[in-house]
Chains A and B, each alone.
Chain A
Amino acid sequence: MREDSKPSHWLTVALLAPTSMWFLFMLILPLIVILVFSFGERSAFGGYSGGFTLEQYANLPSRLKAFQNTMIIAPAGTLLSLVVAYPLAYFLAVRVSRQYKLILLVLVIVPFWTSLLVRTYAWIFILGGRGIPTLLEFIGIEGVRLINTQGAVLVGIVYGYLPLMVFPIFVSLEKLDKTLLEASSDLGGSPFKTFMQITLPLSMPGIATGSMLVFILLMGEFLIPAFLGGGKVFFIGNALVDLFLQSRNWPFGAAVSVTLVVIMLITVSLYMRMIMRSKTGRDESLM
């Protein structure tokens, strides 16, 4: 290292000190504490008493339903969001004139930054007794129950996380070289073939990013199942709120959260590997 860079080296350390403290005390340490707790035992008052036991992990099947629901509905919700988001992202990136593009994109993103709580409870209204079911009664369809079903939770998911899916796909489609599309159609490629062979593969990074963001957030979701699942469709997040704030079984709750994080890490790394592999595969085929 050069002599004259010494002071600026200290400045770098000083500037990073508060942030490092935050990462240490608000992220790393708490995660370690949770890990330690998950191997402990529950004390008489519902707190933690030290020790090393796998009892909490052995107890995980008692919350199997929450894990099952999450592992089924989170991927399904991600896929559904993708299916709804893709055409919109495509429309915004390819079909809309430059002048309106930005404003329309902002209109998609804005809801994501407003209260998910308020937006989700709007659906209690819409799907609840006096919402859509009442409208259906007018046209003669009776006894439809929408709220507190898996379908309601899925609608809430798509509604809540659509902006997060649209944005990365839009970005990757926006970067797409439009002349490639023209070349393909000039060479007699059908619109479908052009889409399958050019547009879709080139927008893969956006699809991957969007799906991963939505999936990770869904794994920890609490509000949507709490409001629209009505105790029938519940996620790991709902089990965690119960374990930490109601039944106060902290060591078991810690084991559930550690398991959640581990499942998340495994799924995400598998997913990343899959994406990487399909990418290198394509690069080779191009050569």
Chain B
Amino acid sequence: MRIYAIAVFLFLYVPIGIIVLFSFNAGRHASELRGLSVQWYGKALSNPFVGDAFVTSLIVALSVAILSSLMGTTAALALQRLKGTPRILFDGLIYISVMIPGIVIGIATLVALVTVFDFLNPLLASIWPEGVKPPKLHMGYASVIAAHTLFTMSLVIILVRARIAGMDRALIEASMDLYATPWRTFYQVTLPQIYPAILAGFLLSFTFSFDDFIISFFVAGANTTLPIYIFSSIRRGITPEVNAIGTMVLAVSLFLLMTAQFFLRARGNR
């Protein structure tokens, strides 16, 4: 049984190790290991396309994480007071947005937004003052951020709600009894208790958005995120440079996951 577990762990980690190992390849071909070097990291980092894609991914992921943790937390708090049909409706929508495959979200968002934009653009052009170039709505940052946020917002709601459920309600009642205003009770009692869940939600949202390929592939328009760049590079053939970029992507999510884990475990110390 122990041997089996070790085998499964190897199965999970050897492929990741191989990518990391081959990213330090000194040779020019991806599949032949010829000594170790960091030259491909230098190549990758000085490639302007990689730089642009990285910045795009960073902007998207950061916006998604901020939006999701704000909206997810407020929604989770409000859902505590909601009962009956609205509550069931919300629970259903949260459930659906977590379960629905990314490809369906990508397609539906693409089709819906393009339809709306095709309708709005002539309208905007007609009401815009003469001589000034009217704005043209198109797929881009906003559409990727909005589509990612649908999933991650629901994820934050689930995490924060679990935390609220495990919270000591006596403290809130005590605070109310001592004539604290609701805002003060929230700020000094509720928030300190749920903040590990919010932070973990923030980091997981960032990781999801940073790693997502399929939704971005449909709705990013002309923007290229890092996973889209890697995907199109692989189509042209695997190079050690792609391995270096892949390793950096893995490193970013591993770092964030460890941090998220740290905050989720903070629960045990309270």
Q: Are B22 and A116 closer than 8 Å at their CB atoms?
A: no
- The proximity string for B residues 75-105 relative to A, scoring 1 for CB distances below 8 Å and 0 otherwise, is 1011101100000001001001101111111
B93 contacts A27, C-beta separation under 8 Å: yes
Q: Which segment, of B5-13, B42-50, B165-173, B190-198, faces chain A?
A: B5-13
Partner of B75, one of A15, A124, A223: A15
Smallest CB gap from B107: residue in A:
A257
B90 & A244 in contact (Cβ 8 Å cutoff): no
* A30 & B112 in contact (Cβ 8 Å cutoff): yes
Question: Nearest residue in A to B226 (C-beta to C-beta)?
Answer: A115
Chain B proximity of A202: nearest CB distance (Å): 19
B99, B108, B208: which contacts A33 (Cβ < 8 A)? B108
Please, what's the 1-or-0 string for A78-112, where 1 marks a CB less than 8 Å from any CB in chain B? 00000010011001100100000000101110110
B238 touches A261 (CB 8 A): no
Q: For the complex, is B174 an interface residue (Cβ under 8 Å from A)?
A: no
B19 close to chain A: CB less than 8 A: yes
Q: Are A34 and B107 in contact (CB under 8 A)?
A: yes
Is B16 located at the chain interface by the 8 A CB criterion?
yes
Known contacts A19-B71, A23-B93, A110-B254, A116 near B211 by CB under 8 Å: yes
Q: Is B253 an interface residue (CB 8 A)?
A: yes
Residues of A close to B99: CB separation below 8 A: 213, 216
Q: Which residues of chain A come closer than 8 Å to B63, judged between CB atoms?
A: none
Interface size class of B (residues with CB under 8 A): 35 or more
A245 at the binding interface (Cβ < 8 Å): yes
Q: Roughly how many angstroms separate A116 CA and B238 CA in the complex, as a whole number? A: 16
A8-34 CB mask vs B (1 if < 8 Å, else 0) is 100110011011001101111111011
* Interface: A198 (CB within 8 A): no
How far does the alpha carbon of A253 sit from the alpha carbon of B19 in the complex, in Å? 35
Which one of A52-60, A125-133, A138-146 contacts B?
Answer: A125-133
Q: 1/0 contact trace for B225-256 toward A, CB 8 Å?
A: 00100110010001000100010011001100
Give the distance in Å from the alpha carbon of A227 to the alpha carbon of B235 in the complex: 9
**Known contacts A106-B261, A115-B227, A260-B104; A95 and B13 CB within 8 A of each other:** no
B70 to chain A, nearest CB (A): 8
Q: Does A123 lie within 8 Å of B112, measured CB to CB?
A: no
Contacts of A77 in B (CB 8 A): none
6 closest A-B pairs by beta carbon, nearest first, are A220-B101, A30-B108, A15-B78, A122-B15, A30-B112, A118-B246
Q: Is A173 an interface residue (CB 8 A)?
A: no
Partner of B234, one of A29, A110, A121: A121
CA distance A5 to B208 in the complex (A): 38
Q: Name the CB-closest residue of B to A13.
A: B78
23 A/B residue pairs, CB under 8 Å, sorted by A:
A8-B81, A15-B77, A16-B90, A19-B71, A27-B105, A27-B108, A27-B150, A30-B105, A34-B112, A37-B111, A87-B1, A114-B254, A115-B213, A125-B19, A159-B11, A162-B12, A216-B99, A219-B101, A220-B101, A222-B103, A237-B214, A241-B103, A261-B104
CA distance A264 to B101 in the complex (A): 10
Among candidates B104, B113, B204, B234, residue contacting A220 with C-beta atoms closer than 8 Å? B104
Residues of A within 8 A of B96 (CB): 27
A223 touches B213 (CB 8 A): yes
Flag if A217 contacts B32 (CB, 8 Å). Answer: no
Cα of A110 to Cα of B113 in the assembled complex, Å: 34
A274 is an interface residue with CB less than 8 A from chain B = no
User: Counting CB contacts under 8 A, is A234 at the interface?
Assistant: no
Interchain CB contact under 8 A, A118 and B4: no
Q: Contact string, A195-226, partner B, CB cutoff 8 A, digits 1/0?
A: 00000000000000000010011011111000
Distance in angstroms between the alpha carbons of A119 and B93 in the assembled complex: 30
A250 (CB) vs chain B CBs: closest residue: B111
A118 touching B82, Cβ below 8 Å: no
Q: Which of chain A's residues has its CB closest to B258's CB?
A: A110
Which A residues are CB-close (under 8 A) to B102? 220
A60→B92 CA distance, assembly (Å): 30
Residues of A with C-beta under 8 A to B101: 216-217, 219-221, 237, 264
B115 & A48 in contact (Cβ 8 Å cutoff): yes
Chain B contacts with A in 122-144, Cβ cutoff 8 A? none
> With a CB–CB cut-off of 8 A, which chain B residues contact A110?
254, 257
Among A12, A30, A104, the most chain B Cβ lie within 10 Å of the Cβ of A30
